[in-house]
């Protein structure tokens, strides 16, 4: 795969993680099925890990892509990007801790940290797709 294809590849895996997170949340909140919840969350973890590998590979070979100076649109992009970057760094240990407690069967700790981890993970996954669209599709130079 050429590195020029990696941003689209990464966006697809962010989207897949978002879908799995959404279904996983639905299954556990509506007391539908713990097995399906677990499957969705493990799938989201795998998709996010694949995304991270693609992201690191792309930026290792390509470096950063500068957003064009489009006035308020660039400001909007940065308002989305800055918390995305900060939360992406914070969420990795949170996700691992959340999974650790689930796999150990410590569901009270799992639920407590998942209440914080889930919205951060969801924000990072959704905004990852939005950033891709803004940077590589809608406003590319």
Distances (CA, A) of 82 to 35, 38, 77, 113: 35, 31, 9, 23
Give the single-character DSSP code of 4: G
Residue-wise pLDDT tens digits, 86-115: 999 999 999 999 999 999 999 999 999 999
> What is d(CA 78, CA 92) in angstroms, rounded to the nearest whole number?
22
CATH topology of domain 3-138: 1.20.120
Helix %, strand %, coil % for the chain, to 5? Answer: 85, 0, 15
The pTM of the full predicted model, rounded to 2 decimals, is 0.89
The number of residues in the chain equals 141
Residue-wise pLDDT tens digits, 38-95: 999 999 999 999 999 999 999 898 888 889 999 999 999 999 999 999 999 999 999 9
Q: Which strand (E) or helix (H) includes residue 62?
A: helix 34-62
């Amino acid at each position: 795969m050429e590195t020029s294809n990696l941003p689209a590849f990464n966006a697809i895996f962010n989207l897949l993680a978002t879908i799995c997170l959404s279904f996983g949340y639905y299954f556990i909140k509506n007391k539908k099925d713990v097995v399906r919840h677990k499957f969705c969350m493990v799938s989201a973890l795998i998709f996010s890990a694949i995304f991270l590998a693609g992201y690191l590979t792309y930026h290792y070979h390509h470096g950063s892509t500068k957003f064009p100076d489009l006035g308020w649109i660039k400001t909007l992009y940065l308002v989305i990007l800055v918390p995305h970057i900060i939360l992406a760094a914070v969420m990795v240990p949170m996700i691992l801790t959340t999974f650790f407690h689930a796999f150990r069967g410590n569901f009270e700790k799992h639920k407590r940290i998942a209440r914080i981890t889930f919205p951060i993970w969801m924000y990072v996954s959704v905004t990852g797709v939005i950033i891709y669209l803004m940077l590589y599709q809608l406003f590319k130079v």
